[in-house]
Amino acid sequence: MRTRQDWESETLKPSLKRAPERRTSFETPSGIPFEIVYGDQASDEYPGEYPFTRGVHPTMYRSRLWTMRQYAGYASAQESNQRYRYLLQQGQTGISVAFDLPTQLAMDADDPLAAGEVGKVGVSISTLDDARELFDQIPLDKISTSMTINAPAAILLALYIAVAKEQGVTESKLRGTIQNDILKEYAARGLYVYPPRQSMRLVTDIFAYCKDHVPHWNTISISGYHIREAGSTAVQEVAFTLANAIAYAEAAMSAGLDVDEFAGQLAFFFNAHNDFLEEIAKFRAARRLWAKLMRDRFGAKDMRSCMLRFHAQTGGSTLTAQQPMNNVARVTIQALAAVLGGAQSLHTNSMDEALWLPTEESVRTALRTQQIIAHESGVASAVDPMAGSYVVENLTDQIEQRATALIDEIDRMGGAVRSIESGWMQSQISDASYRYQREIESKDRIIVGLNEFKSEGNASEGNRQITRFNVNHTVEQRQCERLADWRAKRDAETVSALRDKLETAARGSENVMPCLIACVEAGMTVGEIGNVFRHVFGEYHPPTVI
């Protein structure tokens, strides 16, 4: 059994030498000093060591705070760029890009099916020129970027790499994350394009390419967030997310990659909901369970492969349009749970998101919530401060055991892909969502301002005091005009030749990423590339689940 002294000499002291200084006092306002870690002197579980229940780094936030990464994007690339630069000026430390629905479905802005959706729930990106504007004056060698994109993830990564090259930034210097989690789209979110097995090929092509060329990039953000937003329980969120992660690991190994070649570039994305203690325990349980799966099931030898590093976002589905100012309190509770659970990066929702896209004022308040937790609450002074709580430790054990049972059940079906193709995973989420809604309607679950503590004129009460944000209705016309101009100026023969080359690569087994980078640099659009894949792979039509 490892002792506290072993941990301090072998893990903590080397980590302190490498860690940047945060230059803050680790003591209470009364002058009581904080130790780095508290716990049983004889315990063999320490932060920064397998199985990482207590955190993936020995010093956690004492050395470096979590990345404050507000999810944003709307209308045109130019308008979204202005929002990113505003947030960076306000102290945000990373960028998170929201794309509109046409872009997420690999459609150009002038596609007939895109009508009415261009720039509405995210930024419209169709061309390399759009990507240039999106990251204008943002140094890609200094800022890490997260992109919430799945079916066309490889295309958007190719655009990002192309923009970086134009900035003089080599691929090896890029830091960030591409969501690239297609399985949760089939299970919970619905923004898929190609069938599962063909989509998995694109996922593993990104794994293989980044292993060799973009080593500091997280090749996937395996998402429980959308599973939870669709109505799952916390236990299901952990189980289904890790079951999907198992499927990705198996696919990568089937494609010829060694587990320790790609697992260190996997990242996770979880929801932070209102049940404070369960949420903290959920994050701790997910870390421990993943570490065991990677070592015992996949034979990982590099401990970095066993680290579950995750981004958290506060629960969008928990926000209410009624009495929207109450959402500030909800987001604060959820953000604090994510921090106490050991998140590596965090997005805090804005109070008005149940009504419309957030205003600058509301996103600033959401960011300030993180900054107050970081600098005023004191919780970042100790590593895993909830460890040893009888309640939290019991909940951690219970979530791990129940999630393991669900993963075992999925294994018996043949894995996550089979459970999704049969509709089983979707039905489990749907049943949980139905039970939750029934609890609200029966008032067995109280939602303040929604089914209890309502005010007169409750439906709109408080909304009049909040400034409304509107997307400029001309964005679609402007994007279509830009596209027409873009196509007229590019070299049509080069584009045609590369289109043929991409189709050949898609039909074969070579990695598509080098060809994709060449395609976007030559002027092919997101929709044109997406249509090549549609032609080769086909489109997915889900099973009917009753």
Task: Examine the pLDDT at 417 and tell me if it is beyond 80.
Answer: yes
List the chain domain ranges: 1-46, 66-380+391-424, 482-537
Q: What's the pLDDT at 463?
A: 62
pLDDT digits (tens, 9 = 90+) for 261-272: 999 999 999 999
In the chain, pLDDT over 90 holds for what percent of residues? 88
Phi, psi values for residue 40, rounded to 5°:
-60, 125
Under the banding of pLDDT at 50, 70 and 90, the label for residue 459 is low
C-alpha span between 400 and 124 (Å, rounded) = 40
pLDDT score, position 266: 97
Q: What does 263-296 look like in DSSP terms, one character per residue?
A: GGGEEEEEEE-S-HHHHHHHHHHHHHHHHHIIII
Q: Decide if pLDDT at 516 tops 90.
A: yes
For 93-141, write each residue's pLDDT tens digit.
Answer: 999 999 999 999 999 999 999 999 999 999 999 999 999 999 999 999 9
∠ CA(136), CA(141), CA(145), 5° rounding?
70
In angstroms, the CA 274 to CA 532 distance is 43
Identity at 160, one-letter amino acid code: Y
How many CA atoms lie within 13 Å of 134's alpha carbon, on the beta-carbon side?
31
Average pLDDT in the 229-241 region? 98
Tell me the average pLDDT of the chain. Answer: 94
Each residue of 359-382: pLDDT tens digit? Answer: 999 999 999 999 999 999 999 999
CB 306 within 8 A of CB 295: yes
Least Cα distance to 532 among 99, 127, 126, 152 occurs for: 152
Name the pTM for this structure: 0.94
| Omega of the bond leading into 51 within 30 degrees of 0 (cis) | yes
Cross-strand bridge partners of residue 414: none
- Residue 20 pLDDT level (bands cut at 50, 70, 90): confident
The four Cα atoms 160, 163, 167, 171 give a dihedral, to 10 degrees, of: 40
Q: Indicate the CATH number of 66-380+391-424 among 3.20.20.240, 3.40.50.720, 3.90.1150.10, 3.50.50.60.
A: 3.20.20.240
pLDDT classification of 36: cutoffs 50, 70, 90:
confident
| pLDDT value for 43 | 66
pLDDT given for residue 6 in this prediction: 84
